[in-house]
Amino acid sequence: MRIRTRWPKWTLALTAAALLGFGGAQKVTLTYLTHWPPDTVAKLQSAIDTYQQQHPDVTINVRAVPFGNLLSTLRSQATSPSGPTIAGIYMLWLPELVQNAIADPAPDTYTSDVQNNWPSGVAGSVTVGGKVYGYPNEIDLYALNYNKRLFAEAGIQGPPTTWDELVADAKALTKRDSSGAIVQQGFGIINSWPAGVVHPWLSLVASDGGQLLDGTTAQLTSKQAMAVTDLYHQLIFQDKVTDPAMGTANASTTGPYLQNFTNGQTAMIIMANWWESALRDGMGDSFSDVGTAPIPVGPDGTGPHPVSYTWLNMVNAHASDAQRAAAWSFLEWLDSPQSGQNGSSAMGDILLSMGILPSRTSDVQAHSDRLDTPFLAGYVSQLKNAVPFPAVLGGEELTNSLQQWLERMEFGKASAQEAMQGAQQDIAAILKRYY
């Protein structure tokens, strides 16, 4: 593959200054590709309007596509003169886009900005091969959500902090009908949705001192991975306090797993912060029953370590030098405390308007009042402990493979040991194709 020659980073920075308002500036047009809905696009457009007033030589056009078309649009149109200049992407896509020379490495000024103003784990999630490739925005991480009313009815004082407590509480919280079928499960799991299956499971692995990968080597047969899979098997088949059929997710990542929690038929579940709005809509006044707690710690763990994942805005490496310079300058502004309200960035304000947790440290501080709620405070407190999902080539493939093996175990088609051995083989084969 031919790699295009780049200007030195200091030259690119000087070019940005020349283009953006210093001495006979050249006009430049950028396209911003996103999957956001119309109401959020309108908020982004408002921020862009402010920027364009300050930088009249820069025009930024927003283009929104459905989430399912986002990556394919970027892949197919990156080299087109009318292709996107900026794209909001999921972190797992980044290694592929770097390998295919679609993602532009950030010049030094912007690299330092990201490394200095975001938590190290978040900055790491937009870094490939030691280079930063974008500005992080949304962060999602996992926590234990539980129904405080059900806990009180069962005489349980607070959420479990260890696996032993999790098992004991799940037993006390499970109810069955006259036939023995579960009508209220003590602990819920998610199926039919790759991230919903893998991320909660991996949060328990990390909270037992384990990991999914050691570099690019799969760790599915490690002591910790086996322990979590054994824990799931125990909850489903031995203690019978978890019913996988109650955890199905549909194509919109809603469905029975959400309904059973909002209806009080699931007492505990591990889930990410972004489903707050769905919980509020589904529970109404009963939303006050929802508590948030750190991931229960396993016998070999030293503390809770929820899995996290981020989104980022990247710049298209195939854009012209003028466009790339303008794009990086705009992203720096969009994510700066000077662009938003009361010390928040414009991006931080947009994310909070959607009920999404921003990742920049100053945005979290600026919105401390909004984030200091019984639901979100538990997530914010765990940002320092979060473990980013590995950003590697084949990341989506290995997630899908692990999902399938875990679901085989959950529905009785494989033992815990068979599931982990199968996942280890398949994921090792996936990674071998790339590394």
Q: What is the pLDDT of residues 208-236, one digit of tens each?
A: 999 999 999 999 999 999 999 999 999 99
Backbone angles phi, psi at 135, to 5 degrees: -100, 120
Query: What 8-state DSSP symbol labels residue 288?
Result: G
Number of domains in the chain: 2
Specify whether 65 is located in the same domain as 152: no
Mean pLDDT of 402-425: 98
Confidence of residue 15 (pLDDT cuts 50, 70, 90): very low
Q: Is residue 116 part of a domain?
A: yes
Q: What are the beta bridge partners of residue 33?
A: 63, 87
Beta strands 387-388 and 307-315, pairing class:
parallel
Tokens of 219: 């760790």
Tokens of 38: 């119309």
Last residue of a domain, one of 326, 341, 371: 371
Specify whether 121 is located in the same domain as 147: no
| Domain CATH code at residue 425 | 3.40.190.10
Specify whether 129 is located in the same domain as 25: yes
Mean pLDDT of 327-348: 97
CA distance 73 to 68: 9
- Asked whether residue 5 carries a pLDDT value surpassing 50, the answer given is no
Residue 366 amino acid letter: A
Q: Is residue 376 part of a domain?
A: no
Q: Is residue 380 part of a domain?
A: no
- Asked whether residue 17 carries a pLDDT value surpassing 90, the answer given is no
Specify whether 185 is located in the same domain as 232: yes
- Asked whether residue 4 carries a pLDDT value surpassing 50, the answer given is no
- Asked whether residue 3 carries a pLDDT value surpassing 60, the answer given is no
Q: To which H or E segment does residue 177 belong?
A: none
CA distance 369 to 361: 14
Neighbours of 10 (CB within 10 A): 11
318, HSE (Cβ side, Cα atoms, 13 Å): 19
Specify whether 401 is located in the same domain as 268: yes
Q: Is residue 155 part of a domain?
A: yes
CA distance 272 to 144: 9
Q: Is residue 267 part of a domain?
A: yes
Specify whether 125 is located in the same domain as 150: no
pLDDT score recorded for residue 25:
65
Q: What share of the chain has pLDDT > 90, as a percent?
A: 88
Specify whether 25 is located in the same domain as 14: yes
Specify whether 20 is located in the same domain as 89: yes
Angle of helix 9-19 relative to helix 321-334, nearest 10 degrees, comes to 80
Residues in Cβ contact with 105 at an 8 Å cutoff, skipping those fewer than 6 apart? 131, 132, 133
Scan for tokens 């662009």, then name that residue: 339
- Here the contacts of 107-115 (C-beta below 8 Å, separation 24 or greater) are 107/9, 107/12, 107/13, 107/328, 108/9, 108/10, 108/13, 109/9, 109/13, 109/332, 110/135, 110/328, 110/331, 110/332, 113/332, 113/335
Last residue of a domain, one of 342, 371, 400: 371
- Asked whether residue 155 carries a pLDDT value surpassing 90, the answer given is yes
Residues in Cβ contact with 400 at an 8 Å cutoff, skipping those fewer than 6 apart? 194
- Asked whether residue 354 carries a pLDDT value surpassing 60, the answer given is yes
Specify whether 89 is located in the same domain as 159: no
Confidence of residue 67 (pLDDT cuts 50, 70, 90): confident
Specify whether 190 is located in the same domain as 159: yes
pLDDT digits (tens, 9 = 90+) for 244-269: 999 999 878 899 999 999 999 999 99
Q: Is residue 180 part of a domain?
A: yes
Evaluate whether 136 touches 311 at the Cβ level (below 8 Å): yes
Specify whether 174 is located in the same domain as 55: no
Specify whether 188 is located in the same domain as 272: yes
- Asked whether residue 22 carries a pLDDT value surpassing 80, the answer given is no
Name the average pLDDT for the chain.
93
Mean pLDDT of 366-387: 93
The boundaries of the domain holding residue 110 are: 9-139+308-371
Q: What are the beta bridge partners of residue 316?
A: 103
pTM of the model: 0.87
Q: Is residue 382 part of a domain?
A: no
Looking at the chain, the number of H-run helices and the number of E-run strands are 19, 14
Q: Is residue 4 part of a domain?
A: no
pLDDT score recorded for residue 146:
98
